[in-house]
Structure 1
Amino acid sequence: MELRVPPLPRDRRLRRIRFSGVGRVAQPGFQEFVGPILAPYDLKGVGLLTYRYIDPAKPDASFLYLPVLRRVRRLSTAQRSDAILGTDADPDSFWGYAGHIAWMAWRFLGEKEMLGVMHGEHYPIQQCPGAADFMFCDAWEKRRVYVIEGRSRLSQYAYGKRILYIDKQAWVVTYEDIYDQAGELWKVWIDDHQFRDRAFPGATTYPEEQDFYAGLLMLDMQLEHATYVPHPGADPPGHEGWHFNRGPNARTDASPSGSIPEMFSIASLVARGN
């Protein structure tokens, strides 16, 4: 995975962060590993490990490994709303919304029609040219979405509310509007979904369509700053990017043993970051 962090619109500097990948398993409860970061050097080895429990009253256990300090930092549930790694993105915003459902108060606001990317054509995704290079250019289509409002039950949570736009057919987030505690629009999250049975011709073919989630954009509307994440990146070419239900066969350079339970541990978090 590559993470691009370009300020906009005045400062055109571009910082690239490369991840080795993302892993998820559903036993017990839910476990997710993001990382380790491969570049730039000052962030090399950083990784995030999350445990989510079946008991909805039990908060997430999230651990961030910082190799420069040789320390593992545990994040509270509220801290999952804090932007990490010098980006505009916070762990609870991953995939449009990755927070604990039970720790939010939800309200259904209705349905609407919006443009969204559900069958993207560029894999890896392509940056738009010129001043819009913080955004991805792809095939947009009209989609019916559910509009859901979420407010955190935690007083220390960074955001006042989230508005999720969830595709009615695919049940994935297409957009998210994030507001500050004063009720002002703060950030906007946009996803690039690509539903098909393979990443590209010649790649692993699945019996049914999968979401080859090709990337995202997080816009900080107040600071005029953006985080752009293509996945997979263009380097190395031909990388499938995602493995679905392949367990030990979901191998990457950083995870040669594949997606197995042993990789979702603090010991693995530290070992992969060193």
Structure 2
Amino acid sequence: MKKWFNFLVCLTVALGFISLGNAEMREPMEGAGWHYPWKDTYSEWKPGNMKFDEKLFDQDVTAAYGWEAEDVDKIKDLIPPSLYTIMKSPDAWGPRRINVTAYMENGGSLWKRFVKATEQYKGTAKIDKVGWLRGYKAGCPFPEPKTGAEVLWNFKKHFSEDDRILGTVTIITNRGGQVRYQTSDGNLMYFDGRLQISPKPLYEPNPKDELRIDVYANAHPYEMRGTLSVITQFNNPDKDDSFWLYLPALRRVRRLSAAQRTDRLPGGQDLMWENFDVFNGNPTNYTAKLLGQKEMLAVHNGYPKGEWINGKHLAGPNDYYQKVNVHILELTPKDPDFPFSKMMLYVDSNTWMPYYGEWYDKEGKLYIFSIFQYVPGKNGIFCPVVMNHVDMQAIHSTGYCVTNPKYNVGLTPAYFKVDNLKKEYPSR
């Protein structure tokens, strides 16, 4: 009897190790890596000033779907239609796998400040009769949203940094698998919702009543070096965003009209200003309908180092996904001449950050798809280490892999002046 007991104990322990070993394994994907073609500061992945927990690099995988794994049909209801289409068509889009791991709770000093600010300013932010947010300072404006407009504004004021310098390798892939590379920095600063860098929670003085400034600065290829796209958003629903484009070849600064919000960024990317950060539109230009809240699979605590496969679409093909609660919005443009019929937005129900976005053309067909894959730092900030914007109709994609991200470094409006940016990002 004792021998049988010892045998069963040994067998149980052995099976436990086997099960644990399987759970810990993320199967490698052939060709996935950092394939940057030039030797410069973007040539390798760097964590920047983000401090990532070591356990993020080796998470226990409890299930895997897609390429050389379980049929993605088993999780069809847990992912958006666009991602399902991509994963069911590896011949067109390339291999992609969802590795399911445990959800890591939000934490860190800045997340705690966001939660505190939400409680401190609860009830002070209101949506006026035209649909614009008034009285907002910091935190989540509507911790218990009941309408689509409230969810949309929660997204617009989602948990985020005060400022950032975000180095990215851009991988542009066409239908035939031909690849073009760009390198650029996507830098920004916020004027409200600030949690760390003074002045906070509002950046004051703010004589122009600005909400946010972005710059998209190109370093490669050679012919695009020093190209600058600068956009400023204002705390005024009737004031169009300000767009400036500096073209080194012409040695001139060109002002763009608000009508060009849906034009693609330079270099043949699948990114436009309207879907920058998944959705970057003016909330008053859309009717927001809340379709509900559900559990989905998304990259909340992914693999910190971006990867891609040369000649295949979409970066981050073998990432860690978690079950997360999301709010789903349907955004319908009020302008009948707008080139899209609707936009679907999937946002985290706690941080209000975007995971997925889907744009439909005037005929109601899926056109542009966006997917953001995040990794949290120890301070709580989420870095979108992989971003993809995809033209579903042309089978064309633009992937972005982040390297050397720098958060909350103290950027000011003076940094975003074109004359200063020309010094920061000199042209050829």
TM-score, normalised with respect to structure 2: 0.53
Secondary structure in structure 1 of the residue aligned to 2:357 = strand
The corresponding residue for 1:176 is 357
The corresponding residue for 2:271 is 89
Which piece of structure 1 moves more, 147-156 or 211-220?
Answer: 147-156
Contact 2:313 2:396 in 1 (8 A): no
The corresponding residue for 1:52 is 233
The corresponding residue for 2:260 is 79
**Structure 1 letter corresponding to 2:314:** F
The corresponding residue for 2:169 is 2
Secondary structure in structure 2 of the residue aligned to 1:78 = helix
- Matching of residue 146 in structure 1 with residue 327 in structure 2: yes
Secondary structure in structure 2 of the residue aligned to 1:242 = strand
Secondary structure in structure 2 of the residue aligned to 1:262 = helix
The answer for unaligned runs of 5 or more in structure 1 is: 198-205, 233-238, 248-258
Which piece of structure 1 moves more, 184-193 or 145-154?
Answer: 145-154
- Residue by residue over 1:116-149, the C-alpha shift from the partner in whole angstroms, topping out at 9 and shown as x without a partner, is 00101232x112x587553312111111211111
Contact 2:315 2:400 in 1 (8 A): no
Matches of 1:266 and 1:158, distance apart in 2: 30
The corresponding residue for 2:189 is 24
Secondary structure in structure 1 of the residue aligned to 2:284 = helix
Matches of 1:172 and 1:223, distance apart in 2: 28
**Structure 2 letter corresponding to 1:260:** T
Matches of 2:333 and 2:259, distance apart in 1: 9
Matches of 1:33 and 1:216, distance apart in 2: 17
Aligned residues: 241
The answer for unaligned runs of 5 or more in structure 2 is: 1-167, 192-202
**Structure 2 letter corresponding to 1:44:** R
Describe how 1:94-173 pairs up with structure 2 within 5 A.
Answer: 94-123=276-305, 125-127=306-308, 129=309, 132-136=312-316, 137-173=318-354
The corresponding residue for 1:243 is 407
Cα deviation for residue 224 of structure 1 reads 0.7
**Structure 1 letter corresponding to 2:348:** D
The corresponding residue for 1:254 is none
Identity %: 25
Matches of 1:31 and 1:131, distance apart in 2: 35
The 3 A distance-change label for structure 1 pair 131 and 84 is closer
Cα deviation for residue 214 of structure 1 reads 0.8
- Structural RMSD (CA): 2.0
Matches of 1:12 and 1:143, distance apart in 2: 33
- Residue by residue over 1:5-24, the C-alpha shift from the partner in whole angstroms, topping out at 9 and shown as x without a partner, is 0113xx12211110134122
Contact 2:214 2:232 in 1 (8 A): no
Which structure's residues are more often helix, by fraction? Answer: 2
The corresponding residue for 1:227 is 398
The 3 A distance-change label for structure 1 pair 51 and 216 is same
Secondary structure in structure 1 of the residue aligned to 2:182 = strand
TM-score, normalised with respect to structure 1: 0.81
The 3 A distance-change label for structure 1 pair 25 and 70 is same
The corresponding residue for 2:369 is 188
Contact 2:179 2:310 in 1 (8 A): no
